[in-house]
A and B are shown apart, each in its own frame.
Chain A
Amino acid sequence: MFQRLYAMINRYVILVIGSGPRMMSIFYWPSIQIILWGFFSDFLLNNNLANSINSLSFLLSAIILWDVLFRAQLGLSMTFFEELWSRNLGHLLITPIKTSEIILSLVITSFLRTSLGLIPAIFVANYYFKLQFFQLGFYLAFFLLNLVFVGWSIGFVVSGLVLRYGQAFEELAWAFIFVLLPFSCVYYPLQALPDIFQIIALLFPPAHIFEGMRQIIDNGQVLVNKLMISFLLNIFYFMLAVFMFKKMIKSCRKKGNLFNLGE
């Protein structure tokens, strides 16, 4: 099992290192986001257009945390799409690899991709733009991990749909997550949403995570119940997404279209 996992991850690393555009896609967006919003925050602060440093801290922290979710999802989907683009999935599925090993390799690869892209961006935001991101302390790791799990759940759903219904669904990889954005309360508190939207928002983990983040930055208060709810919701959605991904692979085996993928 470990040799197969190593082979899967190593192959992806070779693929990325050998390709400028792939490398760029990992580092480029997170850093550009931070630089853009960092300058904007500086401008607001220097011209007394923001009422407190906290409100800017909210904004930059939210942008980074949202990007964690987005990168984790893209990292997983794109790694899986590489198999489809290279018409290699059939060859892969006739090796002794198990579906659980494919899932694990996608998760590890996505984690590496996300970390590589975001760690430099977080340090730039923290030291250059004086974002007090690390004031989230231990909870920062909790928020990051939870958002990464949300990203993976969406990544598995999107990958499963592309596998089952074809590459026209690839657009979903970029678009799907933005359906969740208004309900995630990234840039505004939950109370800013209409009542019915608040109910929908509370069904998904991101709203709980971003609410929790805001409380810590605002008054140092930790909403343990919100964090627990987000964690449990995450476990539920992740298991659901993995189940769906496995179902889609099985459905492709039934339909016999694993030979035609990528064409």
Chain B
Amino acid sequence: MSLNITSLSKKYNDFFAIDNVSLNISKPGIYGLLGTNGAGKTTLMGMILGLILPTNGVIKIFGEEFSHKRSDILKKLNYESPYLDLPKKLTVKQNLIFYSRMYGVKEFLERIHDLSNKLKINDLLDRQFGSLSAGQKTRVGICKSLVNNPKILLLDEPTASLDPDTSIFIRNFLKKYQKLNKTIILIASHNMHEVEKICNRIIILNKGKIVLEGIPKVILENKKLNNLEQLFLKLSN
């Protein structure tokens, strides 16, 4: 179970959104992908998922080159992002069943029941997705991203626009889920507090390049800083 990225670049006209990035994630854990707006976090995730074609470089997932085994690899990957939505006129349950079928999940009703219990969305199952609040949508989105029990889960700003209670709930849920399922979770976030709380390792992007990578505590000790926010500000300046 691994994600290997070698010399990955994405160029739009004269601008490198991702510039010669190499990354190797082979152990289960929660990985934080940090960076300012426009640092290249979403672009990197988009390329891992095949939504964006790289200009250069190779992405290998589970030892297979993504461009060659796209469909097989995507069965074991999933993603949740505020940039994408689910059909608003379908109920939550209809959406979850739809995506379960798309990923070829067996006994998906049990899976949906189990996940919706854990994410506390049982009472939302018969409601139209479009009628939910931002926090409810996020929980449903995370449920959708777990229907296929992904080996690698990509989350883009999973707690953006959530109240503190829901954010804490989501963070705790993800930590528990990761431990139990030995998943690789890659989280793109601006929330330094959140990243410090749940991430085993962090990867900091700046102007499309990885500028720092490691265990948050060790990085902070080496840099003699108190928290990731200070580090983030230092790097972005």
Partners in one complex: yes
A90 lies within 8 A of B51 (CB): yes
B94 touches A11 (CB 8 A): yes
Binds A, one of B99-107, B157-165, B197-205, B224-232: B99-107
Task: Flag if A93 contacts B71 (CB, 8 Å).
Answer: no
Q: Does B52 contact A (CB under 8 A)?
A: yes
What's the tally of chain A residues with a CB closer than 8 Å to chain B? 32
In angstroms, Cα B42 to Cα A227, docked, is 51
B49 near A94 (CB under 8 angstroms)? yes
Q: Which of A65-73, A179-187, A249-257 contacts B (4 or more CB under 8 A)?
A: A249-257
Given A3-B101, A96-B103: A258 and B52 interface contact (C-beta under 8 Å): yes
Residues on the B chain within 8 Å of A94, using CB: 49-51, 74, 77-79
Give the Cβ gap from A163 to chain B, nearest Cβ, in Å.
13
Binary contact track B56-99/A, C-beta < 8 Å → 1, others 0: 00000000000000111011011101011111111000100111
Contacts of A82 in B (CB 8 A): 87
Find out whether the CB atom of A259 lies under 8 angstroms from the CB atom of B50.
Answer: no
The CA-CA distance from A258 to B98 in the complex, in Å, is 20
Interface centre among B46, B75, B98 (most CB of A within 10 A): B98
A14 at the interface (CB under 8 A from B): yes
The one of B43, B87, B88, B98 in contact with A7, judged by C-beta atoms closer than 8 angstroms, is B98
Q: Known contacts A11-B90, A253-B50; is A91 also within 8 Å of B104 by CB? A: no
- A7 B52 Cβ-Cβ under 8 A: no
Residue A4 CB within 8 A of the other chain: yes
- Does B83 contact A86, Cβ atoms closer than 8 Å? no
Q: Are A258 and B71 in contact, CB atoms less than 8 angstroms apart?
A: no
Contact B87 A86 (CB under 8 A): yes
* Interface of B (DSSP majority class): mixed
Q: Which residues of B contact A258 (CB under 8 A)?
A: 46, 51-52
Let me know if A97 is at the binding interface, CB within 8 A.
yes
Q: How far is the CB of B126 from chain A (nearest CB, A)?
A: 12
Beyond A3-B104, A256-B12, A256-B46, whether A91 also contacts B86 by CB under 8 A is yes
Decide if B215 is an interface residue (CB 8 Å cutoff).
no
The smallest beta-carbon distance between B56 and chain A, in angstroms, is 13
**CB <8 Å contact, A98 and B12:** no
Interface string of A1-32 (1 = CB under 8 A from B): 00110110011001100110000000000000
Task: Out of A3, A4, A92, A93, name the residue touching B50 (CB < 8 Å).
Answer: A93
Distance in angstroms from B32 CB to nearest chain A CB is: 20
A87 in contact with B85 (CB, 8 Å): yes
Q: Given A86-B88, A88-B87, A96-B75, does the pair A14, B53 have CB atoms closer than 8 Å?
A: no
- Asked if B209 CB lies within 8 Å of chain A CBs, one says no
Task: State whether A11 and B46 are in contact (beta carbons under 8 Å apart), knowing that A94-B79, A95-B102, A96-B71 are contacts in the complex.
Answer: no
A88 contacts B101, C-beta separation under 8 Å: no
CA distance A97 to B102 in the complex (A): 7
What are the residues of chain B within 8 A of A255 when measuring CB–CB? 12
Q: Which residue of B lies closest to A7 (CB)?
A: B101
- The 9 A-B residue pairs with the shortest CB-CB distance in the complex, in nearest-first order: A7-B101, A87-B85, A95-B102, A90-B84, A86-B87, A256-B52, A96-B71, A253-B53, A96-B74
Residues of A participating in the B interface, judged by any CB pair closer than 8 Å: 3-4, 6-7, 10-11, 14-15, 18-19, 82, 86-88, 90-98, 250, 253-256, 258-260, 262
In addition to A15-B87, A86-B88, A96-B102, 8 A-B residue pairs with Cβ atoms within 8 Å of each other are A3-B101, A7-B97, A14-B94, A250-B53, A253-B51, A258-B51, A259-B42, A259-B46
Q: List 14 A-B contacts (CB under 8 A).
A: A7-B101, A7-B102, A11-B87, A11-B94, A86-B85, A87-B85, A88-B84, A88-B85, A88-B87, A93-B50, A253-B50, A253-B52, A256-B51, A262-B85
